[in-house]
A and B are shown apart, each in its own frame.
Chain A
């Protein structure tokens, strides 16, 4: 079991560009959440995908969008990049338990995005 994998590991982009980050969930998991972690801070929830739909969203602008594929993998897209978008982007997968307590999330190693 490879766990949660993310690609690429590092990325440098210019302001105004667009970026796509990818995530493959842990085997058996059906839900993918994306987080932004600025240096020295806790992960900030961006959104979560389940059954190929965005189920919940944090306080992030529409420049941040995503997608989940039938194989449960997911993409995070960020348009019109700003310097402030520089951060570690973490993907976490879990198995939703309907009507049960929250599910343990397994994190990928993250994608370090630098916007210059």
Chain B
């Protein structure tokens, strides 16, 4: 069945450094790849997404890249800040958006 693998499960960085989270999906029909941030006790919130007709998208300190051939997509956070500490989930979906499959999550710690 469909699967999204996410690595690493835990990531600790120093404030100001960059953080990279990588995901691999299995369903070749996937064409929508959102990233969610979930702070402790709160709901997941969309931080950035990318569609299959684009290879890269950037929003201030956050960027996402997509390699459809390899079925890989990655989240890049630059100049990390303590408030970036949270669990990040990648996900994949496809036309019509009927089903979104989530990765297992990456717990990011940003040390001040």
A interface, CB within 8 angstroms of B: 31, 33, 35, 40-45, 48, 50, 55-56, 58-59, 90, 92, 94, 96-110
Contact = CB atoms under 8 A, between A and B. Distances in A.
Contact residue range for chain B? 20 to 34
A104 B1 contact: no
Main secondary structure of the interface of A (DSSP, over half): loop
Contacts of B89: 42-43
A97 B96 contact: yes
Given A59-B1, A90-B44, A101-B52, A96 B97 contact: yes
A102 B94 contact: yes
Interface of B: 1, 6, 30-32, 34, 36, 42-46, 49, 51-52, 89, 92-105
Contacts of B98: 31, 48, 50, 55-56, 96
A43 B92 CA distance: 12
A10 to B, nearest CB: 12
Given A43-B44, A97-B97, 7 more contacts: A55-B98, A99-B95, A102-B31, A103-B93, A105-B34, A105-B100, A109-B42
Nearest to A33: B100
A56 B100 CA distance: 10
18 contacts: A45-B100, A50-B98, A56-B98, A58-B99, A96-B96, A96-B98, A97-B96, A98-B96, A99-B96, A101-B93, A101-B95, A101-B97, A102-B34, A102-B93, A103-B32, A104-B34, A105-B34, A108-B43
A31 B97 contact: yes
